[in-house]
Structure 1
Amino acid sequence: MIKHPRYIRTSLSLAVAMGFVVAAPTVHAESVRVIEEVLVTARKQSETLQDVPFSIAAMTEGKLQQSGATDLESMANNVAGISIQNLGPGQSQVAIRGISAGQIVRDQPGVKEQVGVYMDESVISMSLFTPDLDFYDINRVEVLRGPQGTLFGSGSLSGTIRYISNQPNFEEQSGSVQVGGETVKEGSEGGNIKGHWNVPLSDTVALRAVGYYQQYAGYVDALQPDGSVNKDVNEGSREGLRLAMTFQPSDALTITPRVIYQSIEMDGFNREDQYNILANPYTDPASRAPVTLGEYEQFTQLEEKFEDDFTLFDLTVNYDLSDTLTLTSVTSYTDRDVLVLRDATTLNASIVGGSYGEAESIYTLDAPLFDTTAAEVTTQEFRLSSTGESALQWVAGVFYSDVRRDYAQSLLVSGFEASGPVAADLSGSTAGARAGTDELYFSEVPYKLEQFAVFGELSYDVNDKTTVILGARWFDYEETRELTFDGIYAASVIAKKGKVSSDGVSPRVMVRYDLNDEVMLNAQVSQGFRLGGINDPLNVPLCSPTDLTTFGGNDTWEDEKLTNYEVGAKTTIFGGAATLNMSAFYSDIKDLQATVVAGSCSSRLVYNVPEAHSQGFEVELFSRPLDNLEFGLSGSYVQAELDSEVTSTTGGVTSIVGGIRDGNELPTAPGFQMAVTATYYFPIAEAWEGYLTATYQNIGARFTQIADQENGGQGSATLFPGVGGPLSQASYEYDRELPAYQIVNLRLGAKTEQWDTALFINNAADEKAILSLDTERDGRGRVAYHVNQPRTIGISARYNF
Structure 2
Amino acid sequence: MRLETHRRGARRALLAATSLAALVVPPAVASAQDRTDVVEEIIVTATKRDATILDVPFSINAQSQADIQKSGAVTLEDLSRNVAGLTIQNLGPGQSQVSVRGVSAGQVVRDQPGVKEQVGVYLDESVISLSLFTPDIDLFDLNRVETLRGPQGTLFGSGSVGGTIRYITNQPKLGAYEGTVEANFNTLKGGDVGGYVKGAVNLPLSDKAALRVVGYDTEYGGFVDALGEGGARKNNVNDGYRRGGRVSLLFKPTEDITITPRLVYQKIHAGGFNRQEAFNLFANPFTTTRPAIALGEREQYLLLDESFGDKTFLGDLTASFGFNGLKLTSVTSYIDRKIAVNRDASALSGSVSVDLGFPAAAVTLPSKLVDTTDLEQFTQEARLGSDGDGPFQWLVGAFYSKVDRVYNQRLPTPGYDAYTDATLGAGTSAAVANGFPANSPYNASLPYKIKQKAVFGEASYEIQKLTITAGGRYYDFSENRRFTSGGLFANGDDQVDKTSSDGFTPRLLLSYKANPGLTFNAQASKGFRLGGVNDPLNLPLCTPADAAIFGGFQAYDDETLWNYEGGVKTRMGGVTFNGAVFYTDIKNLQTTLDAGSCSSRVVFNVPKAHTKGIEGELSARLAPGFDLRVSGSLLQAEFDSTVRDGTGAVIGGIREGNRLPSVPKFQISVSATYTRTLTETMDGYVTASFQHVGNRYTQASDQENNPRSFVSGLPFGGASGNDATVLNLQLPSYDIINLSAGVQMDDGLDIIAYVNNVSDENALLSFDRERGGRARLGYSIGQPRTVGLTIRKSF
TM class by shorter-chain length? over 0.9
Contact 2:368/2:412 (<8 A) preserved: yes
**Aligned pairs for 1:370-519 within 5 A:** 370-419=370-419, 423-424=423-424, 428-430=428-430, 432-462=433-463, 464-494=464-494, 496-519=495-518
1:581 and 2:578 are equivalent in the alignment: yes
- Per-residue CA deviation, residues 195-230 of structure 1 (Å, 9 max, x unaligned), is 000000001110000000000001100001120110
Shift of 1:305: 0.5
1:260 and 2:261 are equivalent in the alignment: no
Partner Cα separation in structure 1 for residue 603 and residue 666 of structure 2: 27
1:634 and 2:631 are equivalent in the alignment: yes
Contact 2:343/2:369 (<8 A) preserved: yes
**Aligned pairs for 1:115-134 within 5 A:** 115-134=119-138
Residue from 782, 792, 795 that aligns with 1:788? 782
Which amino acid letter does the alignment assign opposite residue 548 of structure 1? Answer: A
Cα distance change, pair 423–596 in 1 and its aligned pair in 2 (3 A): farther
Partner Cα separation in structure 1 for residue 126 and residue 552 of structure 2: 37
1:242 and 2:246 are equivalent in the alignment: yes
Partner of 2:278: 274
Partner Cα separation in structure 2 for residue 174 and residue 80 of structure 1: 34
Shift of 1:427: 7.8
Partner of 1:306: 308
Partner of 1:605: 602
Partner Cα separation in structure 1 for residue 387 and residue 434 of structure 2: 61
1:592 and 2:593 are equivalent in the alignment: no
Residue from 674, 688, 695 that aligns with 1:701? 695
Moved over 6 A (4+): none
1:735 and 2:728 are equivalent in the alignment: yes
Partner Cα separation in structure 2 for residue 741 and residue 230 of structure 1: 28
Shift of 1:435: 2.1
Partner Cα separation in structure 1 for residue 728 and residue 422 of structure 2: 36
Which amino acid letter does the alignment assign opposite residue 733 of structure 2? Answer: A
**SS state at 2:697 partner:** coil
Contact 2:348/2:775 (<8 A) preserved: yes
Shift of 1:420: 5.5
Partner of 1:659: 653
Which amino acid letter does the alignment assign opposite residue 319 of structure 1? Answer: F
Partner Cα separation in structure 2 for residue 82 and residue 239 of structure 1: 26
Partner of 2:768: 774
Partner of 1:646: 643
- Per-residue CA deviation, residues 307-353 of structure 1 (Å, 9 max, x unaligned), is 0001110000010022x100000000000000000000011111112
Segments of 5+ residues of structure 2 without an aligned counterpart are 1-33
Cα distance change, pair 697–414 in 1 and its aligned pair in 2 (3 A): same
**SS state at 2:549 partner:** helix
Contact 2:405/2:449 (<8 A) preserved: yes
Q: What TM-score comes out, normalization by structure 2 length?
A: 0.94
**SS state at 1:571 partner:** strand
- Per-residue CA deviation, residues 225-264 of structure 1 (Å, 9 max, x unaligned), is 1201101000000001100000111111110000111000
Partner of 1:10: none
**Aligned pairs for 1:62-77 within 5 A:** 62-77=66-81
Partner Cα separation in structure 1 for residue 138 and residue 312 of structure 2: 12
Shift of 1:538: 0.8
Partner of 2:713: 720
Partner of 1:690: 684
Q: How many pairs align? A: 759
Partner Cα separation in structure 2 for residue 83 and residue 41 of structure 1: 23
Which amino acid letter does the alignment assign opposite residue 734 of structure 2? Answer: Y
Contact 2:281/2:347 (<8 A) preserved: yes
Partner Cα separation in structure 2 for residue 363 and residue 720 of structure 1: 15
Partner Cα separation in structure 2 for residue 182 and residue 115 of structure 1: 31
Contact 1:34/1:624 (<8 A) preserved: no
- Per-residue CA deviation, residues 429-485 of structure 1 (Å, 9 max, x unaligned), is 2452222211100000000110100000001002x2101000000111111111111
Contact 2:434/2:485 (<8 A) preserved: no
Shift of 1:721: 4.3
- Per-residue CA deviation, residues 664-693 of structure 1 (Å, 9 max, x unaligned), is 111112110000011001222321100101
Shift of 1:86: 1.2
Partner Cα separation in structure 1 for residue 714 and residue 207 of structure 2: 77
Shift of 1:553: 2.4
1:710 and 2:704 are equivalent in the alignment: yes
Cα distance change, pair 40–666 in 1 and its aligned pair in 2 (3 A): same
Shift of 1:422: 5.4
Partner of 1:746: 739
1:758 and 2:752 are equivalent in the alignment: yes
**SS state at 1:647 partner:** coil
Partner Cα separation in structure 1 for residue 156 and residue 492 of structure 2: 39
Which amino acid letter does the alignment assign opposite residue 743 of structure 1? Answer: I
Contact 2:106/2:698 (<8 A) preserved: yes
Which amino acid letter does the alignment assign opposite residue 678 of structure 1? Answer: A
**SS state at 1:733 partner:** strand
Contact 1:393/1:460 (<8 A) preserved: yes
- Per-residue CA deviation, residues 111-151 of structure 1 (Å, 9 max, x unaligned), is 00000000000000000011111010000000000000000
Partner Cα separation in structure 2 for residue 415 and residue 350 of structure 1: 16
Partner Cα separation in structure 2 for residue 381 and residue 417 of structure 1: 51
**SS state at 1:460 partner:** strand
**SS state at 1:723 partner:** coil
Which amino acid letter does the alignment assign opposite residue 369 of structure 1? Answer: L
Contact 1:186/1:219 (<8 A) preserved: yes
Shift of 1:426: 10
Partner Cα separation in structure 2 for residue 581 and residue 458 of structure 1: 24
**SS state at 1:654 partner:** coil
Partner Cα separation in structure 1 for residue 136 and residue 590 of structure 2: 24
Shift of 1:540: 0.9
Partner Cα separation in structure 1 for residue 167 and residue 98 of structure 2: 14
**SS state at 2:347 partner:** helix
Q: What TM-score comes out, normalization by structure 1 length?
A: 0.93
Shift of 1:648: 1.0
Partner of 1:557: 556
- Per-residue CA deviation, residues 548-595 of structure 1 (Å, 9 max, x unaligned), is 11111221000000100000011113xx21111110000000000000
Cα distance change, pair 419–545 in 1 and its aligned pair in 2 (3 A): closer
Which amino acid letter does the alignment assign opposite residue 538 of structure 1? Answer: L
Contact 1:35/1:623 (<8 A) preserved: no
Residue from 272, 279, 287 that aligns with 1:283? 287
Partner Cα separation in structure 2 for residue 699 and residue 774 of structure 1: 19
Partner Cα separation in structure 2 for residue 35 and residue 689 of structure 1: 16
Partner Cα separation in structure 2 for residue 418 and residue 356 of structure 1: 14
Partner of 1:669: 663
Contact 2:429/2:488 (<8 A) preserved: no
**SS state at 1:429 partner:** helix
Shift of 1:719: 2.7
Which amino acid letter does the alignment assign opposite residue 334 of structure 1? Answer: I
Shift of 1:517: 2.5
Partner Cα separation in structure 1 for residue 37 and residue 174 of structure 2: 31
Contact 1:403/1:448 (<8 A) preserved: yes
Shift of 1:733: 1.2
Partner Cα separation in structure 2 for residue 491 and residue 420 of structure 1: 16
Shift of 1:36: 1.8
Partner Cα separation in structure 1 for residue 488 and residue 172 of structure 2: 56
Contact 2:76/2:136 (<8 A) preserved: yes
Percent identity, please.
49
- Per-residue CA deviation, residues 613-662 of structure 1 (Å, 9 max, x unaligned), is 0000101100112111111000001100000022111xxx2211121111
Partner Cα separation in structure 2 for residue 538 and residue 420 of structure 1: 21
